[in-house]
Structure 1
Amino acid sequence: MTTLKVGFISFAHGHAFSYLEGFRKLPHVVIAGIADAEKHRVEDVVQRYNIPYYADYRDLLRTDIDAVVICSENVHHAELTIAAAKAGKHVMCEKPLGISVSEMEAMIAACEEHHVQLMTAFPCRSLTAVVEAKEAVDRGDIGEIIAIKGTNRGSNPGGWFVDPALSGGGALLDHTVHVMDLMHWFTRSQVSEVYAYAATLFNEELQVDDTGMIHVTFENGVFGVLDTSWSRPKSFPTWGDVTMEIIGTKGVISVDSFAQSNELFSDEVGKGTWDYWGDNMDDVMVRSFVDALIEGETVPITGEDGLRSAQVALAGYQSLEAGQPVQL
C-alpha cells in the first residue's frame, strides 16, 4: 500500500476538521469521500477541496477506500465502526470509543474478525510535554510512580454533547478518557477501582453533568485523581487544559501540555488569547495512524486502549449512583 485512500464519516465532532487538515498534509493520502447525513456540516469542505460527498455512509463504505475516520455523535460510534469493519476498512474513531463496555467489545471483535485495525483518537499522547515526560518516566528519572494528579478542564461544548441520548454522558465521560489514557500509558497498568463525583453546577439547565472528579487505583498500586469538569468560562483563552503532576519515589514531573503558547491581546477579538506555537498533536496522531497502515504495523493507540479509558468513565457513573467505589 503506497497510497492510502481515506474517507470521513460524520463531522458532528469538531475534531473532524482538524483531522481532515492533518490527512491533507500527507502526500501519500487521498481524501476519497465524506459521508454525513447533515450536508450543511460538510458542504464547505466538500466544495473547497472537491471531495466526493455521500449522504449515506454505506455508499462511502462500498467504495475502494482503505480506511475511515469516524467523528459522529458518541452514540453512533459502534454502529459505524462495525459497519466499516465488515466492509474491510480500517478505522480511526473519535473518543470516547463507545458508551458501553459491551458495544466497545463488539467494535474490537468486529475489527479483529475482519482483519482491520481500530485506532482510538487520543491525540494527547502526541503532545510534546507529554512525550518528554513519558521518556523521563521510562528512563527512571523520578523512580517508581506513586500517584498522578491530572486535569482535563474544558468549556461546555454545547450542542449534542449535552444531549445524553447522543453523547451517553456529560463531562465525566467527555473529559475522563484523554488523561486516563495517559495515566494508563505512563503506569503501564490498568485501573482496578474507581470512585467518582459528578454534578451539574455551572449550568443547572443541563441534562448532563458538567462537573466531575474521578479517583482511581491501578492494579500496580498507583493512585490517580482527575478533574474532568467543563469549568472553563467562554472567556478562557483556549478550550481547556491537559495537565499532570506525576509523583515518583525520587521526584516529581509537572506537565502543562498547552504551555507552548504566547499571550495575544487583540482588540478585534475582544479578549486575551493564547497563540499556540507547539507541535500540532492532531497532525502527529494522524501521521502515526497513516504510517502504521502503510507499513503494516499495529496502530499506536488501539481499540483496547480506548475501551480501558472509557470503561473507567462509565464506572465513574456507577460509583456516583452507588455512592461508593466500584471494582473493575
Structure 2
Amino acid sequence: MTDLRIAVLSFAHTHAIGYLTALAAMPGVEVRGSDPDGVSTGGSLVELRGRDLADELGVAYVDTYQELLAWGPDAVVVTSENARHRELVEAAAAAGAHVLCEKPLATTWEDGIAMRDAVRAARVLLMVAYPVRFTSAFGRLRAAHESGALGQVFSIRGANNGMLPLTRSWFTEPELSGGGAIVDHVVHVADLVEGLTGSAPVSVTAVANRTLHAARARAETAGLVTVTYEDGVVAAVDCSWSTPDTSAVWGGLTLDVAGTGGTIATDFFGAAARGTATATGLPIESRYGADPDTAMLRTFVDAVRSGEQPQPDVHVGLRTLAVVLAAQESVATGRTVAVRSEQPRPAAPDGPRTVSRA
C-alpha cells in the first residue's frame, strides 16, 4: 500500500489527541505534527501541547508549520482554534494538500467562503470533521429513514451537552472560538439533520444565556436553537455546557426524530458500562463500541487515495456555519433570522488531484 504523508496542524483542539493516535495506527500512513503555539499546562494527556504531546503519543514532530508543509504532505488535518482555521487551510491548499478541517468550518462567513475558494482553486479536497456522522447509531437511523419506516419527518429534537471545556480555555474566548456553546455544539446536530434529511436550513430562532459558569466563561454557556428547513422539518437544539464537572464523561449527544410513521430516539454515545467508585462515591462510566473518529479518518484517507470528494464537504461546512451565525444574530436581536446561502459559483475545474507517491 502506498504510504500517505499526513500532517496535523495545531494540537489546540483536544480532538487532535484522538486523530494523531488513530492516524499513527493506520497502515500505509506516516503522520507528523506541529503545534508551535502550544504550551503544556499540566501532566495529564489533555493538558499536553506541542512536542510534549507528540512525544507522549510517539508521533514525529517539527517546530513550525512551514517545515511541516515543506515535508510535502498529501493531506493535512487542521485542529487549531476555530478562528485560525482559514489561515491553515489556505496554507495547506497552497501546498497542494487535501484537508480535513475540525468543526466549525470557520467563525465568519467571509472566512468560510475564502476557504471554499482556496481549496477549489488548488483542486484539493476539503472534508469537515463531523465524526458523529460515522457512528453505527447514525447509520441505523439513516437506514430506518431511507426505508420509509419514519414516514415524512416533521420534527427533530437534538441535545448536545457537555462540560465547560476548561482544559483548553480558548473554547470560551470568543476571539478564538467564535462564541460559546452555540458554536461548539449546534453544528454537530445541524450536520446530522442534513445527513439524515438532505434538506437545507431556512431560518433560525435562538435564545442563550451565561447563567451556568458565569465566572468562568466569556461566552454563552446555555442555548436553545430552533431551525426550520426547506422541507418543513423543525429542529430544536439544546446546545448547553451543562454537564457537571463531576461527570464521569465529557457529555453526550442525542437525537429524537418524529415522522408520520413513527419516532426514533437515538443516543449516539449511550453504549457504556456504568458504576460508582467506592472511595469517592462518584460515577464511573466506560463507553464502548466502534470509534467514530477512526471511521471518519478512514473515510478521509480513502478519499485522499481515490480523489473522490467525501462527505461532509465544504458546502455542508458552510451550511452548518450559516446556522450558527444566524443563531448568534437571533440571540443578539431577538428576531427570527434567515439563513444565508452560498452565491452561485462558476463551474468547477477538473476534479481534485489524486495521490501518486511512489
Q: TM-score band (shorter)? A: over 0.9
Give the C-alpha shift of residue 201 in structure 1. Answer: 1.0
- Show CA shifts across 1:153-210 (max 9, x none): 1111021111111111000111100111001111111110100011101122221000
The two structures have a TM-score, normalised by structure 1, of: 0.96
> Is the counterpart of residue 294 in structure 1 residue 321 in structure 2?
no
Q: 2:321 aligns with which of 280, 302, 310?
A: 310
> Is the counterpart of residue 81 in structure 1 residue 81 in structure 2?
no
Structure 2 counterparts to residues 1-328 of structure 1, below 5 A = 2-38=2-38, 40=40, 41-48=49-56, 51-158=59-166, 159-205=169-215, 206-267=217-278, 271-328=282-339
Query: Alignment length, in residue pairs?
Result: 328
| Contact preservation (8 Å) 1:237, 1:272 | yes
What is the one-letter code of the residue matched to 1:157? P
Q: What are structure 2's unaligned runs of at least 5 residues? A: 41-48, 340-358
Work out the CA distance in 1 between the residues paired with 2:333 and 2:35.
41
Q: What are structure 1's unaligned runs of at least 5 residues? A: none
| Contact preservation (8 Å) 2:163, 2:242 | yes
| Contact preservation (8 Å) 1:154, 1:232 | yes
- Show CA shifts across 1:24-66 (max 9, x none): 2210111134343326403234334554433321221122111
- Show CA shifts across 1:260-283 (max 9, x none): 111033346762121111111111
| Contact preservation (8 Å) 2:76, 2:100 | yes
Q: Secondary structure at the match of 1:60?
A: helix
Work out the CA distance in 2 between the residues paired with 1:311 and 1:201.
25
Work out the CA distance in 2 between the residues paired with 1:302 and 1:187.
16
| Contact preservation (8 Å) 1:194, 1:327 | yes
| Contact preservation (8 Å) 1:32, 1:65 | no
Q: Secondary structure at the match of 1:262?
A: strand
Work out the CA distance in 2 between the residues paired with 1:264 and 1:285.
30
Give the C-alpha shift of residue 236 in structure 1. Answer: 1.9
CA RMSD of aligned residues (A): 1.5
Work out the CA distance in 2 between the residues paired with 1:269 and 1:24.
36
| Contact preservation (8 Å) 1:22, 1:287 | no
Work out the CA distance in 2 between the residues paired with 1:145 and 1:91.
33
- Structure 1 residues 326, 288: CA separation in 2 closer, same or farther (over 3 Å shift)? same
What is the one-letter code of the residue matched to 1:18? G
What is the one-letter code of the residue matched to 2:142? K
| Contact preservation (8 Å) 2:34, 2:64 | no
What is the one-letter code of the residue matched to 2:316? D
Work out the CA distance in 2 between the residues paired with 1:269 and 1:131.
38
- Using the TM superposition, name which of 68-77 and 259-268 deviates more: 259-268
Work out the CA distance in 1 between the residues paired with 2:39 and 2:183.
28
- Structure 1 residues 174, 33: CA separation in 2 closer, same or farther (over 3 Å shift)? closer
| Contact preservation (8 Å) 2:161, 2:251 | yes
- Using the TM superposition, name which of 90-99 and 56-65 deviates more: 56-65
| Contact preservation (8 Å) 2:9, 2:79 | yes
What is the one-letter code of the residue matched to 2:37? A
- Show CA shifts across 1:57-115 (max 9, x none): 12211221111111111110011101110111111111111001111111011001001
| Contact preservation (8 Å) 1:9, 1:36 | no
Q: Secondary structure at the match of 2:285?
A: strand
- Structure 1 residues 271, 292: CA separation in 2 closer, same or farther (over 3 Å shift)? same
Q: What is aligned with 2:344?
A: none
- Using the TM superposition, name which of 228-237 and 44-53 deviates more: 44-53
- Using the TM superposition, name which of 35-44 and 115-124 deviates more: 35-44
- Structure 1 residues 249, 29: CA separation in 2 closer, same or farther (over 3 Å shift)? same
| Contact preservation (8 Å) 2:13, 2:80 | yes
Q: Secondary structure at the match of 2:161?
A: coil
What is the one-letter code of the residue matched to 2:4? L
- Structure 1 residues 258, 70: CA separation in 2 closer, same or farther (over 3 Å shift)? same
Give the C-alpha shift of residue 147 in structure 1. Answer: 0.8
